[in-house]
Structure 1
């Protein structure tokens, strides 16, 4: 995760109220349940010293009219006396519980960890006339979360279906059909490049008809090849299984997450050997204050003692954050931009 996304939060003057609401299944009384859950958190914040101003601002956000899926989605909010400075989805697993903090700095470790573990997939479900293009964010142990979706139809005038027939007429019609598929594939590939530049996916998943997705892949720039995955699951026809495609997207995300974790571990070990990595609260804090942290490494399941301070300091110096599945001194480490001077 790029911590610069949170700079506007850290630029506010505290103290801060940080509220986490876990996602729950949609229900008819979801609105009433949110109010009851918020009331309990509200009393906790008040007991910890939060004033009426910040509580009223959170009231306005959490008791506003919401319904259905929106009420069931998990959320994280950060507020000060001047207003709500963060209101974002938080797809925590059911059972992780609601939580609230009134602190000098916002408690965003859980939010950062989830975003750092999530995988962004651009999913292209193709047929010979175009494609359904979806932007998915997949957090660990969760169903894919669709951020956006678009239907893309190619601009070919000729039909893509190859009519039956014989001799020259058949060959001409077949050639025109092939050219139409190629024209449509070029249009889809162009759209995918544009969306990819904005969405910045970690992997591009091509699904749907074999001829269509093969044609689209050929039209993609060579630099995209390492982050392209193809699957036979799912499609645009009625018989295609959305569940099978969702399972495949989860598998692809899991594989990518494992490769990313292994790469981080290798980079960290190499960095330690060449003074380009540090670990432990004191060493990482010193590196962060020097602006030397390229990537803040948070140990999975082990919050660092000064995590809020480290996140704020690294956000102000355009660092990123990643979660690693290895033990770190004090639960924290860092990959450095340059060796630290004594």
Structure 2
């Protein structure tokens, strides 16, 4: 999981209030239920030491934000001087969380926010296609061919050649759509291409696509004429499949690296903290079910961290407090453009202290 979107949190000083809440609006009393959920989370923050200025920032965000339709979750991160993160997600959390601390409470945030899968959606038929780009914009594409697009219902003299002209028109339309789709996939760095339409039309498009687009193509079994915005549930399911494939691949990569003797994988809190301090972490691996409540010490920069306060003193760094190890490590990973992967039940991987890392380079004894 890439962490670009939480980069602002690495550049700000705490304390922070972090809220992950159910923002579902699908019943007549949804607004009142939303307010009640927020009131409960607000009380937790106040009990944890949150100041009135920060609570006021969150009050304004909750009361003034546009409510999504249907089920949704919402993530808020705030300081006394303003809101740093305000993001809706498709799936509400099983339970809301609210925390006040030196660094944001990032583990439940990562659990709530799935990795972004940039997606191009195509609804294709014999005449062309409607395409939704990764940025949500819609366009209609077809070839300039003016030939017929419907075959004759009954056979007769010359009908064979007419059918051939129809099939040539279909092919040209598919070629035009494929050319545009390939451009959007490359330009938008898409990780998923979802294609809806009748099976023959989908097959013609698949045959015309560049290999990079065909490899990420997922097909929806339905008849033609379905617009991109009408297949969103299936698109979300396909994106979930891509996320899981990426997660499994990242865990497998760590497992492979940890089995080698080249020093490009470490596990255990002390080793991962040392690698973080050295800017060596490429992928941080976390087992949410096995993370201890240990806190680590931090100085002014996100990667200036240590298990023991004395380590910072020895490095000439001024300790600024301590915070839960996982939150500190995730924040530091975002600061150095590292990825984070959360393990799941059934993964064949073992992590000491619930954390591990794939490294950009091996660490020497003095690191």
Q: TM-score, normalised by structure 1?
A: 0.81
Q: Secondary structure of 2:38's match?
A: helix
Task: Note if contact 2:114-2:243 (Cα within 8 Å) is conserved in structure 1.
Answer: no
Deviations 1:230-255 (A, max 9, x none): 45x223358xxx89x957973x5666
Distance 1:8 1:268 in 2: 27
Question: Which of 285, 288, 298 is the aligned partner of 1:297?
Answer: 285
Structure 2 counterpart of 1:150, from 138, 146, 149: 138
Q: Distance in 1 between matches of 2:248 and 2:104?
A: 30
Among 191, 194, 204, the residue aligned to 1:202: 191
Q: For the Cα contact (< 8 Å) 2:123–2:195, is it kept in 1?
A: yes
Paired residues of 2:74 and 2:92 also in contact (CA < 8 A): no
Partner-residue secondary structure (3-state), 1:41: helix
**Aligned pair partner of 2:172 in 180, 183, 186:** 183
**Unaligned stretches of 5+ residues in structure 1:** 137-146
Aligned partners of 2:114, 2:265: CA distance in 1, in Å? 19
- Residue 252 of structure 2 corresponds to which residue in structure 1? 266
1:235 and 1:283, CA in 2 relative to 1: closer, same or farther beyond 3 A? Answer: farther
Q: Which moved more, 1:271-280 or 1:173-182?
A: 173-182
1:167 to 1:131, Cα distance in 2 relative to 1, 3 A: same
Contact 1:113 1:322 in 2 (8 A): no
What CA distance in whole angstroms lies between the structure 1 residues aligned with 2:65 and 2:247?
41
Q: Report the equivalent of 2:88.
A: 89
Residue-by-residue CA offset, 1:164-206 (whole Å, 9 max, x unaligned): 56445651x3343223222322332234334434654433333
Offset of residue 38 of structure 1: 1.3
Name 1:213's counterpart in structure 2.
202
1:69 is paired with a residue of what secondary structure?
A: coil
Counterpart for residue 50 of structure 1: 50
Once residues 147 and 173 of structure 2 are traced to their aligned partners in structure 1, the CA distance between those partners, rounded to angstroms, is 10
**Greater C-alpha Rg:** 2
**Matched pairs, number:** 323
Displacement of 1:15: 0.7
1:99-129 Cα distance to aligned partner (Å, 9 max, x none) = 2111111112122234456766544332112
Q: How far apart are 1:309 and its partner, in Å?
A: 0.5
CA, structure 1 residues 335+106, in 2 after alignment: closer, same or farther (shift >3 Å)? Answer: same
Which residue, 329, 334, 339 being the options, matches 1:315? Answer: 334
Unaligned runs of 5+ in 2: 295-324
Quick one: structure 1 residues 330 and 132, their matched pair in 2 at CA, closer, same or farther if it must change by over 3 Å? Answer: farther
From 148, 154, 178, the equivalent of 1:159 is 148
Q: How big is the shift at 1:339?
A: 1.3
Task: Give the aligned CA root-mean-square deviation in angstroms.
Answer: 3.1
Contact 1:278 1:284 in 2 (8 A): yes
Secondary structure at the aligned position of 1:63 is classed as: helix
- What is aligned with 1:16? 16
